[in-house]
Amino acid sequence: VALPNNNVYNVHHKGRTCIICLKKKMCTYKRFQMDKILCSHAWTPNTLLITYNNPITPLPDLIEWNVPEYIKDGIVRPPKFKRLSERPPKKLHDKA
């Protein structure tokens, strides 16, 4: 990784060189512009560690959940949808 200025980086990754601008969130691979996810070469090990720095608290057992009664009594139904029309049958004509 070479640093031309504050927010623009030259990254050498798998034999290719690309330019990343973190301020504009742009990359010469154009992956960020397409997926809105930075390319793998834009992540530094420190940034990746900071991403997973917050502890993950597991949920307690289902028996220990405090669910309000109005939610327990509710019935969840699938959304209503209109069935798509099928292809009309092919009309066969008698040769007469």
pLDDT of residue 3: 54
* The 3-state secondary structure of the chain, one letter per residue: CECCCCCEEEEEECCEEEEEECCCCEECCCHHHHHCCCCHHHCCHHHHHHHCCCCCCCCCCHHHCCCCHHHHCCCCCCCCCCCCCCCCCCCCCCCC
> Which pLDDT tens digit goes with each residue over 29-88?
776 667 666 666 666 777 777 777 777 777 788 888 888 898 888 888 888 887 777 777
pTM as predicted: 0.33
pLDDT in tens, 72-90: 888 888 888 877 777 777 7
- Report pLDDT for 21: 80
